[in-house]
Amino acid sequence: MKVKMISRNPDDYVRETKNEHHKLPRNYDPALHPMESSREYVRALNATKLDRVFAKPFVGNLSGHRDGVSCFGKHPKQLSTLTSGAYDGEVRVWDLANRESVRSFVAHEGFVRGICYDVTGERFFTVGDDKTIKVWNSSAPDVGEDEEPINTILSRTMITGITHHRKEPKYATCGEVCSIWDESRNDPLKNLKWGVDTLHAVAFNPVETSVLACCGSDRSIILYDQRAANPLRKMVLTMKSNKLAWNPMEAFNFSVANEDCNLYTFDTRQLKNPLKIHFDHVSAVTDVDYSPTGKEIVSGSYDKTIRIYNVHQSHSRDIYHTKRMQHVVCVAWSLDNRYVFTGSDEMNIRMWKAKASEKLGVIRPRERVAFNYQEALKEKYAAHPQIKRIARHRQVPRHVLNSQKKMRAVKDKELRKEANVRNHSKPGSVPFVAEKKKTVLKEEI
C-alpha cells in the first residue's frame, strides 16, 4: 500500500528573526489578481500626493557674510566643507554639518571672482579684482596666528575665474586671456587667446582632463586643449553665456547658463546646435552646476529662483524659492548628490535638498523598501493624467508667473507672425527653422 505524506520544510514559513516579516505563500498568477493594476494605480496616486505633502526642500541657511555671495569652492575630499567668496573680498570656510563658519578672512580687494581646491584638497586658490591669485592652506592657522596666504601671484591682466585640473598640479585662469599655470611656478605656462575682449568663466573637463572651455564677452564659447598651442573651437551664440559646467560622467557634454533665460546642453562633437534647450527661467541664468551622477543640473537665476533639470528634459522637475531670497548668483551641487547650495545678493548661503521630499537621517531597511516601491509605482504610472498633473504642479512667485505669461504671449505672437508671413509668401521662400538651429550663429575652427 502506498502512503502519501504531507511534507513541510520549516525554511519556507519560519522567519529567522522576530524582526522579519512572516513568510507567506503567494501565487503571482495574474488571473488570480484581477484588481492588481487598480490597486497599484491608487497606490501610485497616494505616493505622488504624499511626495508633494512632504516636499520641504529648505534645510537651512549659513549667515555671516556682510556682502553678496559671489562664488563657491567645493572640497574634493570632505563633504562637510564649503568655501565661499563675497563681493567685499571676504572668504569664509563653512562646516556644513554644524552650519557654522570655521574661518573667515579678507582675501582680496573688491570681488572674489573664483575659488577652487587642488587635487588633494590641502590647499585652495582664490582670485579677485585686485589681479592676484592667492594660495591658502585648507587647515586653519594655529591660535594667535594671522591668516596669511602660502603664495601670492600678481597677474599682468585682470582675472575673472579659476578652475583646477582634475589630476595634475595645474590650474587655469581666465580674464583678458586664458592662462594655464603650474602650482610650482609664478608665471603661466602658456596664454591662449582668440580675439576676445574678456573671458568671464572657465572650467576644466573632469573626464577628458586636458580639455577646458571658456565663456567670452562676445557671446562666444571657446574650447581649449592645454596640450595644444592654439584654441580648438569657437562658437558664437545669440546672447552671452554667464557660466559653464561639464558633465562629470559624459566627457563630451557641457551646459551653459545664458542671458536669454535658457540653459543649453551641447555635445562637443556636434556644436552646430545644442542637444537640449532647458526653458522655464524668466530672467538671465547666472550659474549652473551638474550633479555627481551627471543626470541632473541645477541653475540659479536673476528671477530669484533655482531650478533643477533632468539633462534629457527641456522643463525643470523642481523649482525652489523663498520670500527673502534675492538674485541667485552662484549654485553648487554637493558631492554626495543630496544637497544643493545657493548664494545670493542678500548675503545668505542656503542649503536645499536635491530631492524635495527625501527623508533626512537614518532610514530603516523596511522604509527603504517602501520608498523604492513607491518610486517604482510613480515611474510606472507617470504618464497618467491625474498623477502627471499632481507631480508637475508647483507654486511659483507671482512675479515669475506674470513673466511666464508675458513671455508666452510674446512667443505666440512671433509664431503667429511667422505663420502669416509664410501664408502670404511664395511657397518655400520662408522655411521652417527649428528652435535648436536658432541658437548658434556661427562656428569657427
pLDDT confidence of residue 193 = 84
CA angle 235, 236, 239 (to 5 degrees): 145
CA gap 417, 436 in Å, rounded: 19
CB-facing half-sphere around the CA of 262: CA atoms within 13 A = 20
Residue 120 backbone dihedrals phi, psi, to 5 degrees: -80, -20
Range(s) within the chain of domains with CATH label 2.130.10.10:
59-353
CA gap 256, 262 in Å, rounded: 9
- Residue pair 243/257 in contact by the 8 Å Cβ criterion: yes
**DSSP string across 348-368:** EEEEEESSTTPPPS---HHHH
pLDDT confidence of residue 25 = 80
pLDDT confidence of residue 2 = 81
**249-288 residue pLDDT tens:** 998 999 999 999 999 999 999 899 899 999 999 999 999 9
In 3D, which of 80, 125, 116, 69 has the Cα closest to residue 328? 69
CATH of 59-353, one of 3.40.50.300, 3.40.30.10, 2.130.10.10, 3.30.750.24: 2.130.10.10
Residue 436 DSSP label? G
- Show the low-confidence residues of the chain (pLDDT under 70): none
